[in-house]
Structures are given as C-alpha cells and as structure tokens.
Amino acid sequence: LRLILLGFGNVGQGLGELLLEKRREINRALGLRLDVVAVVDSKGYALFESGLDLSEVLHAKRSFGTVAKHQKWGSTELDAIEVIENFDADIIVEMTPTNIIDGEPGMSFIKSAFRTSKHVVSTNKGPFALDYKGVINEAYEKGLNIKFSGTVGGATPMIDFAKKCVVANDIIGVEGILNGTTNYILTKMHVEGQRFEDALVDAQKMGIAEADPSYDIEGIDAACKLTIIANSIMNRYVTVHDVETRGIGGVTPAQILDAKNRGMAIKLICEIGEKISVGPKEVPLNSPLCVHGTLNVIKYSTELASDFFLVGAGAGGKETATAVLRDIIDIAYKIGEIKV
C-alpha cells in the first residue's frame, strides 16, 4: 500500500517511527508492504514515488523544522492538495491539527482524497465533529474507506471495541472520561487538594496541558470525541454544537473535598443518553469509571450484558500512531490487500 502522510507533528512523527520499527514485521506476518510516498507538513513536503526513507525524513524534520528541507526529496513547489491529487497513493493519512471552526485544512484534504479515489485514515477530530454524516456518506458513495480510530482514546481502541466486540447486543448508553489533561488536573486537585489554577500550571509544566489549554479545560476536546462516538457507535447524527458542554474551570477545592468525604470524585464526564453532554460530575471512587491521572475510560451500557468499561492512555504521539496503523491494516483487509 502506498501512503501519503499529511501533518508531521507528534502523531505523524510517531507514525514514522512506528513504521520504521514495524514495517518489516507487518510485511512478514501479513504480507502487507507499506510505502510512504509523500510526507506533507505545514511548510512543504518530501516526495519520492518509490517510497521515502523515513529515517531521513524524520531527521530532516527534526534538524530543519520541516521535511521540505530534505536535500533530495524536499520541495515547496506544490501545495498539499496538489500532492494528494497528483500522485498515486492508496491511503491518505490525515494528521493535521483539529480545528472546530471549519475543520480546515483537514476537511479539504479528506475531500481531495475522495476526489482522487483514495482511502482515508484520520486522527483529526474537526471534520468528524462538524460533519460526520457528510464525510462518511461521501466515502460510502465513492466506495472508499475512512477510518478514524485515533480521534478518540489515543491508542485505546474505543470505537473498534464497540464495532468489533459488541455484536448482537445493542449499546444503549455511553459514559466516559475522554480528556486526559482535565483528568490529570482533577486528580491533582482530588489527591493534593490543589486549586484549579495551580493544578493547571503543574500540568503545563509536565507537558500535559498546552500553553493555550482552553480546548481541554472548557470541555471542547471531550465534546468533539463524544460527538464522534455518538455518530459512529450510537447512530446519533449530531455535531459538536449539539453537545451540552461545560468545562472544569469552575470546580473548587471545597467541592472536591466535599465529594471525597462522601466516597466520590469529581470528573469531567461525557455522557450519551437522552441528552449528549460533557461536564463535571460526581462519580463513586470505587466505580470502574473513576480512573485517575491522564487515563481515559469509556463505559458501554449494553442491552444484554450490562456494562463494559475500557480504560487506557488517551493520548501520546506514538500511542495514537498505533491507532493509525491499526486503521491502515483494517483498510488493507477490507480492500483485499491482506488475505484472511
């Protein structure tokens, strides 16, 4: 399979490393050859139609800040859309940052992939949080595959679990903790009695919260993920704007202590029931839903087998890259590149 990678930040570079480590093993075990023909970042691209040497591309990115400066393969001649449309590839791996205003540039990249009959793997929440149905329908109409495991739960296969492991048993409700940054902050406040502001600074020092942490803190990142789960697992055709969203900025040490004294913790809980909502909520400390630190969790309530809880790290570049690789292999099965 020929891949074009769009976006070469944490996840993209993680995927580069992962392919370097695992490509030979995948070839041996599954008979699947994976070649990266182009890597596009915000400043240009590296292109080699016989397949890039990823260690060189990673080196160029780390040395010069862009793959475009690779001496043999780097270029700024074409823009990303032209790279997608002018070269032969099977799968476009779309890993640009989430933008919940208009989903760009990811949305245009995905449409451009479809226009030229390329399958898509994406880790970008924007297009799905804003127009899940439109994106999926377009793939369906063209007979193309689109997978987006990495948009939710980092490496933790929350969507695949629901689709592949819950069969002949309807999922009737979802609850979860889908943002590691806020969970880290709330854990700090719970365990150490810190104020929100101090726990946030602490998280920023640890590299867990970004310099502008508003998407996380205000619950928007969690709401995007919940939108994707609501659409893909529960057939609820909503956008992020339909999610009733409250952040954790108003949570006080006094509230947390009060909950703690009653055997509870305050968590940023995502919930799909009659309403779809994200907000701080008390959870019993002895519930499997009450995970700590940067962990994420999803609870699927089922018609016939009570509740399943799936817990794992919710982020990380290389971890999320494992979700991307899973999706690539899944598409390879579906299009017959791997024999069952």
Which of 71, 275, 286, 339 binds its own copies (CB under 8 A)? It is 286
Q: Please state the closest distance from residue 323 (CB atom) to its own copies, in A.
A: 8
When the beta carbons of 240 and 328 are compared against its own copies, the nearer one is 328
Cα 262 to Cα 144: distance, rounded to the nearest angstrom: 51
Query: Which residues, in sequence order, are CB contacts of 245 under 8 Å at separation 6+?
Result: 218, 219, 220, 222, 223, 277, 278, 279
CA proximity to 317, closest of 98, 11, 41, 95 = 11
How many CA atoms are closer than 13 Å to the CA of 61, on its beta-carbon side? 22
Which of 50, 71, 261, 306 binds its own copies (CB under 8 A)? It is 306
Q: Please state the closest distance from residue 297 (CB atom) to its own copies, in A.
A: 8
Cβ atoms of 74 and 32 within 8 Å: the answer is: no
Sheet strands side by side (includes 2-6) = 74-75, 44-47, 35-41, 2-6, 91-94, 119-122, 146-147
When the beta carbons of 110 and 291 are compared against its own copies, the nearer one is 291
CB burial class (10 A; 0-12, 13-18, 19+) of residue 167?
A: exposed
Q: Please state the closest distance from residue 240 (CB atom) to its own copies, in A.
A: 26
Q: How remote is the C-alpha of 322 from its chain's centroid? A: 11
Q: According to CB under 8 A, which residues from 149 to 178 bind its own copies?
A: 154-157, 160-161, 164-169
Q: Please state the closest distance from residue 31 (CB atom) to its own copies, in A.
A: 14
Cα 308 to Cα 159: distance, rounded to the nearest angstrom: 13
Q: Is 206 in the site for its own copies (CB under 8 A)?
A: no
* Antiparallel, parallel or unpaired: β 119-122 and 91-94: parallel
Q: Is 335 in the site for its own copies (CB under 8 A)?
A: no
Q: Is 292 in the site for its own copies (CB under 8 A)?
A: yes
Q: Establish whether 299 is a catalytic residue.
A: no
Q: What is the DSSP letter of 64?
A: H
Which of 198, 253, 309, 335 binds its own copies (CB under 8 A)? It is 309
Q: Please state the closest distance from residue 131 (CB atom) to its own copies, in A.
A: 27
Which of 177, 222, 310, 331 binds its own copies (CB under 8 A)? It is 310
Q: Is 315 in the site for its own copies (CB under 8 A)?
A: no
Q: Is 253 in the site for its own copies (CB under 8 A)?
A: no
- The catalytically annotated residue of 225, 267, 281, 299 is 225
Q: Is 311 in the site for its own copies (CB under 8 A)?
A: yes
Among 17-25, 38-46, 117-125, 275-283, the segment contacting its own copies (CB under 8 A):
17-25
Cα 109 to Cα 337: distance, rounded to the nearest angstrom: 24
Residues that bind its own copies (CB under 8 A): 18, 22, 25-26, 154-157, 160-161, 164-169, 285-286, 288, 291-292, 295, 297, 302, 304-313, 316, 318-319, 322, 325-326, 329-330, 334, 340
The residues assigned a catalytic role are: 225
